[in-house]
């Protein structure tokens, strides 16, 4: 049986099998270390019994007042371990920590509008499109792609104010975030 545990610094040398997926955003080492230092309870890996990293989730807590929330910065599962429910377990952990430890109003994430599989998965997990962000993903060679800002309210948001009125027709620019 696999184990969901906190990310450790040594995992930085062991998670290439997961990060090589084309839809996985990768970052420099200092970025990962910052998350590990500031939000260790929102940075976890799923590890197989043999010690292989199967996937990971990296998140943070941010915002102010009713915008205080958990944010999924990255979640990815290695191709050979997909469709086993690992993403569901990692998302539930981040949602639980965002609710019980950080007392957030909602959890949000950004996903490429072209990534229909991920969008469907997030909708199955209870997320909805809050807005569309023009040009959120940029590769630097004038190749941009829009993102959906998807949200799921947590129990603290009793009136579900964090997810109402917008949707994919509400379009913003990254600099307006």
Q: Is the pLDDT of residue 175 over 70?
A: no
Q: pLDDT tens across 118-167, in order?
A: 999 999 999 999 999 999 888 766 678 899 999 999 999 999 988 875 66
Whole-model pTM: value is 0.89
pLDDT of residue 23: 74
Q: pLDDT tens across 49-69, in order?
A: 999 999 999 999 999 999 999
CA gap 83, 85 in Å, rounded? 6
CA 38 to chain centre: 16
53-62 and 43-47 strand pairing: antiparallel
What's the CA dihedral at 118, 18, 174, 119 to 10 degrees?
0
Burial class (CB in 10 A: 0-12, 13-18, 19+), 83: exposed
CA gap 177, 155 in Å, rounded? 24
Query: Are the C-beta atoms of 59 and 39 separated by less than 8 Å?
Result: yes
Domains in the chain, CATH or no CATH each: 1-104 (3.40.630.30), 108-177 (3.40.630.30)
Q: Is the pLDDT of residue 13 over 80?
A: yes
């Amino acid at each position: 049986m696999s184990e969901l545990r906190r990310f450790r610094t040594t995992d930085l040398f062991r998670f290439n099998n997961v990060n090589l997926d084309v839809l996985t955003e990768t970052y420099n080492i200092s970025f990962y270390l910052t998350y590990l230092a500031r939000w260790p309870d929102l940075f976890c890996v799923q590890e197989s019994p043999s010690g292989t990293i199967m996937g990971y989730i990296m998140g943070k807590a941010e915002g102010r007042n009713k915008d205080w929330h958990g944010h999924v910065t990255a979640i990815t599962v290695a191709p050979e371990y997909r469709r086993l429910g690992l993403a569901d377990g990692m998302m539930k952990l981040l949602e639980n920590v965002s609710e019980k430890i950080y007392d957030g109003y909602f959890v949000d994430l950004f996903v490429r509008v072209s990534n229909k599989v991920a969008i469907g998965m997030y909708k199955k997990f209870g997320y909805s499109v809050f807005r569309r962000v023009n040009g959120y993903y940029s590769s630097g060679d004038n190749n941009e792609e829009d993102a959906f800002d998807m949200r799921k309210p947590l129990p603290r948001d009793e009136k579900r104010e964090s997810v109402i009125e917008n949707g994919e027709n509400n379009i913003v620019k990254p600099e307006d975030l």
